[in-house]
Structure 1
Amino acid sequence: MLLNTIELGPENGDRSQPPVVFLHGLFGRARNFGFFQRRIAATRRTLALDLRNHGNSPHGMMDYPTLAGDVRETLAAHDALPATIIGHSMGGKVAMMLALTFPVDVHSLLIADIAPGKGGFSQSQSLAGKMADLRFPDFLDRAAADALLGRIISEKPVRDLMMMNIDMGEHPHWNIGIQEIAASMPAIVGWPEMGDGVHYDGPTLFVAGGRSHYITPDNYPAMRRLFPNYRLETIPDAGHWVHAQAPAAFLELLVNFLSEG
């Protein structure tokens, strides 16, 4: 499946460096990384992808091998392999699966607040079902959408994120594949068993939020086995949305990681 892609980079820029690819999290879209993509695009070719069922990409059932296959097919179509892959949350699991199954296509890897294993998305699993069951009125504006989503989402920042996924006005509807996402949630929460000897040897940086529990010491053995050249950095004042909650600190880590080659 070819995914919707936002590509930015310097005119006549140096293409000797691998492109930098951004993969968003569950219920997100390519432009969630817009601030970082614009900064990096000053000197590097960048691509931000809408994963399947998100943004303007096609819909279909999801699991991590399928999502990684979509990303590889799309980057190949853009002549953008090998690439440095930046992934947050679900996008981080997609990035890890791409590196583990097609290691020659991944130059290096930055994973934002997710680990290689079952877990995460504990609230999202029930939320996806509630979103799929939500019934819209004949007309919807932002105020009415906020009130409607308030029935199932208490946190205003999360409601604001979800409103990006609604086409408002007359005959409002979800513009994401909410039914497919809800049906795929067991696979999204999970993580496939990786065979003996499967690993990615390239440079790998995990960035954890200090107030998040998505990466814990229990994950370290799997991180070491699958990504033997990994290191872990923690941004103390950030939660799971580490790049949005601490953009300056995240950008510094990202720029330094890219400068390492």
Structure 2
Amino acid sequence: MKLHYRDLGQGTPFVILHGLFGLSDNWQTLAKYWSQNYHVYLVDLRNHGRSPHSTDFNYDLMVEDLAEFLTEHQLENPVIMGHSMGGKVAMNFALKHPEKLSKLIVADIAPRPYPVHHQDIIDGLNAIDISTMTSRTEAEAALAPYIPEAETRLFLLKNLYRREDNSFGWRMNLATIEKNIEEVGRETTSDTPFTKPTLFIKGEKSRYIQDKDMPSIQRLFPQAKLETVANAGHWVHAEAPEKFYQLVVDFIK
């Protein structure tokens, strides 16, 4: 699958993968700073952003999409970073294609399986009738009973766009994501570890990476180190951008 992307800067290739319901735009602010020293690629994963929609959606396919992307753009030994679902893609990619990257960064996700926990978001998005909607304000009002946090609503509604006829559409393939939502939490496994430098970054307030996850992290990624960002939650890169930026730069160096 030919993935949509944005790229900035020059130098060592640095590929960034967004999380579930996200898109490449989410990373533009930090990418502008990293692009001063690296060639940053912001990729839309399948069924997200401006990348193609498909009825198929799982980590095996997203790993092969990424392999195809690196080949297409002749990216040798990039640093690959992913947040949440994108972190799962990055982990799976590193374990399957260790020769295709130099370093791995995983933001606030562990290899373990996660139960489905996005039903409120899916219900809220389905409550938005984009066929009759005339403004983003209407969409936010429909979403609010399901998602009380204004920042989360803003994040989700970045997926809305105006078609040429001025009607609204979704960038993401909501139907396929909902149908395959159990795939998002699938455990990351491998008989062979990824032995290159790896950085896990977690938000202090997040429960996505816990002490119980360290044995599996160290087994699959024996060179991994974990950094915790104080006073940040799951959206660690958005809640503490300066600290997150510096951790990534120090690690890549």
Q: Does 1:118 align with 2:113?
A: yes
Q: Is 1:177 aligned with 2:153?
A: no
Do the aligned residues in 2 keep the contact of 1:139 with 1:168 (CA within 8 Å)?
no
Partner of 2:87: 92
Q: SS of the counterpart of 2:102? A: strand
Partner of 1:246: 240
Q: Structure 1's 243 and 120: CA in aligned 2 closer, same or farther, altered over 3 A?
A: farther
TM-score (norm 1): 0.90
Structure 1 residue aligned with 2:207: 213
Query: 1:181 Cα shift?
Result: 0.7
TM-score by length of 2: 0.93
Letter in 2 for 1:110: I
| Cα root mean square deviation, aligned | 1.7
* 1:132–1:179 Cα contact (<8 Å) kept: no
Is 1:161 matched with 2:152?
no
Asked whether the 8 Å contact 1:202–1:229 carries over to 2, the reply is yes
Give the corresponding residue for 2:229: 235
Amino acid at match of 2:92: M
Kept in 2, the 8 Å contact 1:114–1:120? The answer is no
Amino acid across the alignment from 2:104: L
Q: Is the 8 A contact 1:23 1:86 kept in 2?
A: yes
Runs (5+) with no aligned partner, structure 1: none
1:103 and 2:98 aligned? yes
Cα distance in 1, alignment partners of residues 80 and 116 from structure 2 = 21
Aligned residues with identical type, % of pairs: 35
Unaligned 5+ segments in structure 2 are: none
Residue among 189, 195, 206 paired with 2:185: 189
Name the CA shift for 1:195/1:23 in 2 (closer, same or farther; >3 Å): closer
CA spacing shift, 1:158–1:27, aligned 2, 3 Å? same
CA contact (8 A) 1:129 1:182 kept: no
User: Quick one: which amino acid aligns to residue 248 of structure 1?
Assistant: E
Contact 1:88 1:114 in 2 (8 A): yes
3-state DSSP of counterpart to 2:180: helix
CA, structure 1 residues 204+195, in 2 after alignment: closer, same or farther (shift >3 Å)? closer
1:35 partner amino acid: T
CA contact (8 A) 2:233 2:239 kept: yes
The CA distance in 2 between the partners of 1:79 and 1:117, in whole Å, is 32
Q: Is this contact kept in 1: 2:201–2:228, CA < 8 A?
A: yes
3-state SS, counterpart of residue 64 of structure 2: helix
- Give CA deviations for 1:125-170 in whole Å, capped at 9, x if unaligned: 4522552464335232121111111132211111111111112584
CA distance in 1, matches of 2:68, 2:126: 29
CA 1:217–1:3: 2 relative to 1, 3 Å: same
How many residues in Structure 1 have an aligned counterpart in Structure 2? Answer: 250
